[in-house]
Structure 1
């Protein structure tokens, strides 16, 4: 038995009007088409639903019972469709982004502000975590896209570089007077450098730059959080090497000096997306807003942030 909601709707309309021509006109169909649809329904059920004479149409007892059941079935069907529609609308305004903390703190606040003004019912989740954790969340379909600083080699992912981020040397207190505005990478070997841990992409860039020179870089101290590094700098316990975007939360700290590392590495910053599968409208809007925010940052911080490689 294969009965469609459309057949039940036609049956219910006819059961209320008990007039084939009137019902056909209301439903914008021909009377023969309506008659065939009712015959097909009767044959599928093995029941006679209407008594037809040349002058009138009446429901049979079976037709009366079916009308009651059909109203319940169609009502539940319509309610289910409405729940699905509402759920789809809510899901369409949900967004999840994974990002390195150093990128999330600088790029995503303005991005999310723009999205909330554009999508009134938006629900945005930000996962600030390591580069590898961000990529894994994307592969597990836990986020729509990721902000990262290393181009992933996974075949299911693609990378759009947004900018290249210069590494800088931060100093405070007594060290501020001893550090020039511009330093060379080799000078770091003679300084009490505080850096991120080996697990961070920032440290990997610096380590790789020294390994290219045949030197193993050994900082005085390695810490997980930029805020902790700032505390040690203010105490005069050393200087710090960080990518420019990573140190931007420290800019407002009193007495902090930024020196460029003229021959230091440039950190790639970009968006990672899945090659397969569609992207929601809010995710596409988020990526477009990120491009705008990055453009504004590059204009404001010229000399520290560089265009994406060709």
Structure 2
């Protein structure tokens, strides 16, 4: 049965006024259009809903009974529309971001705080995970966008570089005497280096930097979490090699010295999105805020965080 809510509304309006010209005027349609809509409804139902004479219009007994049903159907339809609209509003407020932990810690708190001020009741999910896991969540539509490093080669993803991140050396206790404010990659080889595991972009960048020199990068220890690195440095187990954004959460630790690796690699940091589709309004706002926060960080730490490369990715 092909009956629209509009036809039911026209039928109910006419059933109350019993006047074609008055109903057409109230509903801002022409009288012939109203007559045609009622005729098509009667044909679809196989019922005569109105008795028409040159002087009057009145409901048939079937029309009176169908008017009761039509009111119920329209009431349920409008209630369903309200539920549908409410669900759409909740869905529009959903935001899911995938980011590796150091970015989640340094960039996203400011982004989330600004979203709370700008967007009505956002529902935010943050996935702080490894770079590859961030990209996979994006491909699986489990995230609206990702904050990641290394431009992905996947054809369904695109990368916008936001900044470049210098690598630094963290030393504490007895190891502070072994390092200077500026160090070179060759000088690090004599130190007990601590870094993140092979799954991290930090390890990939450092391995590539040494490989260009024909050297295999073999740190003393590899761990998953920056907090563990901090504990090991504090206990003088070794010296940490990490990107600056990665060490920002632990820079305030007493007795820790930060040194620049002058010829170290620069880690790319950026936004990854899917090539197809369009981000939601809240996701677009969040990405704009990420760009703004990244620019503020570059202004605050110009020696450690550098502008994007001019080379397209």
Task: Show the 5 A alignment for 1:131-142.
Answer: 131-142=131-142
Q: SS in structure 1 opposite 2:158?
A: strand
In the alignment, the residues of structure 2 paired with residue 272 and residue 201 of structure 1 have an alpha-carbon distance, to the nearest angstrom, of 15
Identify the residue that residue 306 of structure 1 maps to in structure 2. Answer: 306
Identify the residue that residue 260 of structure 2 maps to in structure 1. Answer: 260
1:178 is aligned to 2:184: no
In the alignment, the residues of structure 1 paired with residue 52 and residue 237 of structure 2 have an alpha-carbon distance, to the nearest angstrom, of 98
Task: Show the 5 A alignment for 1:204-243.
Answer: 204-243=204-243
1:123 is aligned to 2:154: no
In the alignment, the residues of structure 2 paired with residue 48 and residue 219 of structure 1 have an alpha-carbon distance, to the nearest angstrom, of 88
In the alignment, the residues of structure 1 paired with residue 83 and residue 280 of structure 2 have an alpha-carbon distance, to the nearest angstrom, of 20
Q: List runs of 5+ in structure 1 lacking aligned partners.
A: none
Identify the residue that residue 46 of structure 2 maps to in structure 1. Answer: 46
* CA deviation vs aligned residue, 1:215-251 (integer Å, no higher than 9, x gap): 1111111111111111111111111000000000011
Identify the residue that residue 76 of structure 2 maps to in structure 1. Answer: 76
Q: List runs of 5+ in structure 2 lacking aligned partners.
A: none
Task: Show the 5 A alignment for 1:90-169.
Answer: 90-169=90-169
Identify the residue that residue 56 of structure 2 maps to in structure 1. Answer: 56
Which one is further off, 22-31 or 115-124? 22-31
What TM-score does the superposition give when structure 2 sets the normalisation length?
0.97
CA RMSD of aligned residues (A): 1.0
Identify the residue that residue 285 of structure 1 maps to in structure 2. Answer: 285
Q: SS in structure 2 opposite 1:169?
A: strand
In the alignment, the residues of structure 2 paired with residue 263 and residue 31 of structure 1 have an alpha-carbon distance, to the nearest angstrom, of 82
In the alignment, the residues of structure 2 paired with residue 30 and residue 127 of structure 1 have an alpha-carbon distance, to the nearest angstrom, of 57
Equivalenced residues, count: 310
In the alignment, the residues of structure 1 paired with residue 93 and residue 165 of structure 2 have an alpha-carbon distance, to the nearest angstrom, of 31
In the alignment, the residues of structure 2 paired with residue 197 and residue 21 of structure 1 have an alpha-carbon distance, to the nearest angstrom, of 79
Q: SS in structure 1 opposite 2:9?
A: helix
In the alignment, the residues of structure 2 paired with residue 100 and residue 33 of structure 1 have an alpha-carbon distance, to the nearest angstrom, of 61
In the alignment, the residues of structure 1 paired with residue 32 and residue 183 of structure 2 have an alpha-carbon distance, to the nearest angstrom, of 89
Following superposition, the deviation at residue 81 of structure 1 comes to: 1.4
Which one is further off, 76-85 or 150-159? 76-85
In the alignment, the residues of structure 1 paired with residue 2 and residue 239 of structure 2 have an alpha-carbon distance, to the nearest angstrom, of 76
Q: SS in structure 2 opposite 1:272?
A: strand
